[in-house]
Chain A
């Protein structure tokens, strides 16, 4: 059995740890040949830790075909509390098409969602149209007003308002 076949076998393993390690390994060594297999797994897998590993490896492989699949997961309420790794994986991929989604995600979700969304927003803001920037500004300003009415928390350095303010600064 050659190494390619051995990796395929490990990807089909029912032992989750083995499966996850193999997925991570493929991403680390940049095995582009495995992209179709990983994409298929990404569409059909259910375990969150396997999905996270798949997203990160496809990000490392710079497989832009994974973007629409990941965006579907990100929008799915089922992954509301776990979608951070999907967004983090998108940092390596071309997701300019979804610019407004990231503006919205800066305004919603948990810390991981808005901080990673901001990083993507920052990396693509110069590449989008004026119209999209205008729309994003409206979304962010609306949420900025809401955030400003809130009382300051114990840890202001982690608050959403920091990210909204800086995103608006990038749009000006």
Chain B
């Protein structure tokens, strides 16, 4: 039982100690409070928050690493705070973080290198709609198209996207030569 006499809830799992420990405990409580709030929301926002917290924790590591070499107090930004913000609007926080890194001397060419930030968008698109890149690779390079008389997917005489997806899955998701990259 800790000195606050709470005893219940998360308090019994938290170590008792000095002011520093109390502060940490308070932060952990707030984290759990956020997580509890999420559970009552819809699936989309829950996922976003989970991603946000995950990214937030890793960003905290980056922040601490940078603050060892610079006077900028990035360490003051708690991981959960970033995570919470990311959960609300991942794009704004990504841009903000990119801005900080540019301010710290990281080259924008490195940060915004072609395909680097877009990689996430590609992944997102593949999940939400369209067909996987591996399927297209098989269709064009692995003989799929030739088997369909050279017809386009979704064309008048070609297979529909749903049909070709099923066929590809039935074949064990084969690939063509190698995944096609962007220009």
Chain A interface (Cβ < 8 Å from any Cβ of B): 20, 24, 28, 48-49, 52, 56, 80-85, 88, 91-94, 109-113, 115-116, 119-120, 122-124, 126, 155-159, 162-163, 166
Task: Give Cα A94 to B182, complex, Å.
Answer: 10
Q: Which positions 149-181 of chain B face chain A at CB distance < 8 Å?
A: 150-158, 160-162, 177, 180-181
Q: How far is the CB of A72 from chain B (nearest CB, A)?
A: 18
Q: How far is the CB of B125 from chain A (nearest CB, A)?
A: 7
Contact B183 A124 (CB under 8 A): yes
Contact B129 A112 (CB under 8 A): no
Task: Give Cα A52 to B160, complex, Å.
Answer: 20
Q: Known contacts A56-B140, A115-B130, A122-B118; decide if A91 and B180 are in contact (CB<8 Å).
A: yes
- Which residue of B152, B157, B162, B182 contacts A84 across the interface (Cβ within 8 Å)? B152
**A166 to chain B: which residues have CB within 8 Å?**
125
- Which residue of A52, A110, A122 contacts B145 across the interface (Cβ within 8 Å)? A52
Question: What interface size band does chain B fall in?
Answer: 20 to 34
> Which residue on A lies nearest to B133, using beta carbons?
A119
Q: Known contacts A81-B152, A92-B180, A158-B129; decide if A52 and B140 are in contact (CB<8 Å).
A: yes
Task: Give Cα A119 to B181, complex, Å.
Answer: 11
B100-115 interface code vs A (CB 8 A; 1 in, 0 out): 0000000000000011
The 7 closest A-B pairs by CB, nearest first: A111-B154, A81-B155, A84-B152, A112-B152, A110-B154, A157-B129, A48-B150
Contact A91 B182 (CB under 8 A): yes
- Which residue of A20, A112, A124, A155 contacts B155 across the interface (Cβ within 8 Å)? A112
- Which residue of A80, A157, A158 contacts B154 across the interface (Cβ within 8 Å)? A158
Interface membership of B136, Cβ < 8 A: yes
Q: Known contacts A52-B145, A155-B161; decide if A82 and B150 are in contact (CB<8 Å).
A: yes
> Which residue on A lies nearest to B157, using beta carbons?
A81
Interface membership of B131, Cβ < 8 A: yes
Contact B177 A28 (CB under 8 A): yes
Task: Give Cα A20 to B182, complex, Å.
Answer: 24
Contact A126 B114 (CB under 8 A): yes
Contact A82 B151 (CB under 8 A): yes
Task: Give Cα A163 to B125, complex, Å.
Answer: 9
Q: How far is the CB of B114 from chain A (nearest CB, A)?
A: 7
Q: How far is the CB of A152 from chain B (nearest CB, A)?
A: 13
Task: Give Cα A116 to B145, complex, Å.
Answer: 15
**A84 to chain B: which residues have CB within 8 Å?**
140, 145, 152-153, 155
Interface membership of B128, Cβ < 8 A: yes
**B32 to chain A: which residues have CB within 8 Å?**
none
Contact B162 A110 (CB under 8 A): no
